[in-house]
Amino acid sequence: MAAQFLADLDALLAEASAAFSAAADGEALEAARIEFLGAAKGRLKAVQKGLGTVAKEDKPAAGKRLNEVKEAIETAFTSAKDRLESAGPAAAGGARFDLTLPGRPLRVGRLHPISQTIDELKDIMGRLGFTPAEGPEIEDERHNFEALNIPLEHPARDPLDNFYLAVAAAGAGTATAPPHQEHAAPLLLRSQTSTVQIRVMERQPPPVRIISLGRVYRPDAADATHYPMFHQMEGLLIDRHATLADLKSVLRMFATGYLGSDVHVRFRPSFFPFTEPSVECDYYWNDRWIEFGGAGMVDPNVLQAVGYDPEEVSGFAFGLGVERLCMRRHGITDIREFYKNDVRFLQQF
């Protein structure tokens, strides 16, 4: 019987070695290990039982051979394991996930730089007591021009300089006209946020202290500093004794709040139909004067247009370009970058 037992051992060793070296990954190797070396049902265990049938005088030699084969099978297993491990952790199966692999990036969305700027401007102006107000982007001529003291013959009303809506121009705009208008009136995309001054003053008595941040539209050809749609921050303060000095203080505090304490503010005389006197506001920052927008004391005609008494109240207003502020702050040199939807640009904010 010893001959059979020894033959079984040799066959087992050959099969096990072949199985271990054929294993292509950790899973296959583990299956082979269980098949041959498994503690309960492994084939080595089964063959080992045959030792009982070996004649007594042959037992020492058979037992020795059994131990040799057992060791040889274990060695074959270990070397197969080493082979797979040196091929890579995934193949070895011991570490199913590799902690050293770079993680899958979570794509977190973020606010557009202009939205972030708007939030920040609201925050700064909020600390100065200005509450955000909103108005429609589709406007009538009263709010975009007339109540702002911009008469019919004013060049700002040129149809070529504004986005008039075709439906209104065709006289079919009744459905979209504001409710207070009985007849179809021309509608346009607002060209300035000064419209919101009128809307706010129409619905509340003085005092007023608002800002309005939103889109405005002008048919300008896009270049590095122009875009047919951009954003403005409008400000309006109406009270009993508002002065130009107050305006300057507010704009200076705003500028230092947004750009830092090393900013200087300069007023240059200017003209806007809705302010008297009117100024152009420049900020000096990083060795340059940059024009940020217009401002002035609200013209008495505007106060009258909304039913305020110019003898009782006065006020100031300002309108600043949001893109310009954001460009200055971040060193952006082309306004078109904001609206290309290029993630490589947008990701930087």
Which of 23, 41, 21, 43 is closest to 31 using CA atoms?
Answer: 23
Is 281:291 a contact under the CB 8 Å cutoff?
yes
C-beta of 36 vs 316, nearer to ligand DAH: 316
Min separation Cβ 213 and ligand DAH, Å:
13
C-beta of 42 vs 296, nearer to ligand DAH: 296
Min separation Cβ 202 and ligand DAH, Å:
16
Is 21:33 a contact under the CB 8 Å cutoff?
no
C-beta of 113 vs 293, nearer to ligand DAH: 293
C-beta of 162 vs 192, nearer to ligand DAH: 192
C-beta of 162 vs 275, nearer to ligand DAH: 275
Residue 77 is which amino acid?
F
The helix/strand/coil state of 28 is helix
229 Cβ contact list (under 8 Å, min separation 6): 215, 216, 217, 339
Min separation Cβ 227 and ligand DAH, Å:
14
208-217/131-132 β-pairing:
parallel
C-beta of 91 vs 281, nearer to ligand DAH: 281
Write out the residues near ligand DAH by the rule CB under 6 A. Answer: 192, 194, 234, 272, 275, 293-296, 317-319
Min separation Cβ 109 and ligand DAH, Å:
31
Query: Both tokens of residue 33?
Result: 């290990």
According to DSSP, residue 334 is labeled -
Min separation Cβ 274 and ligand DAH, Å:
6
Min separation Cβ 126 and ligand DAH, Å:
19
Min separation Cβ 216 and ligand DAH, Å:
7
Beta bridge partners of 210: 131, 236
Chain centroid to CA 123: how far?
A: 19
Min separation Cβ 349 and ligand DAH, Å:
25
Complete DSSP assignment for 234-282: EEEEEESS--HHHHHHHHHHHHHHHH-TT-EEEEEEEEETTEEEEEEEE
- Helix %, strand %, coil % for the chain, to 5? 45, 20, 35
Residue 132 is which amino acid?
P
C-beta of 23 vs 281, nearer to ligand DAH: 281
**149 Rama class: left (phi>0) / alpha (psi -120 to 50) / beta:** left
C-beta of 109 vs 269, nearer to ligand DAH: 269
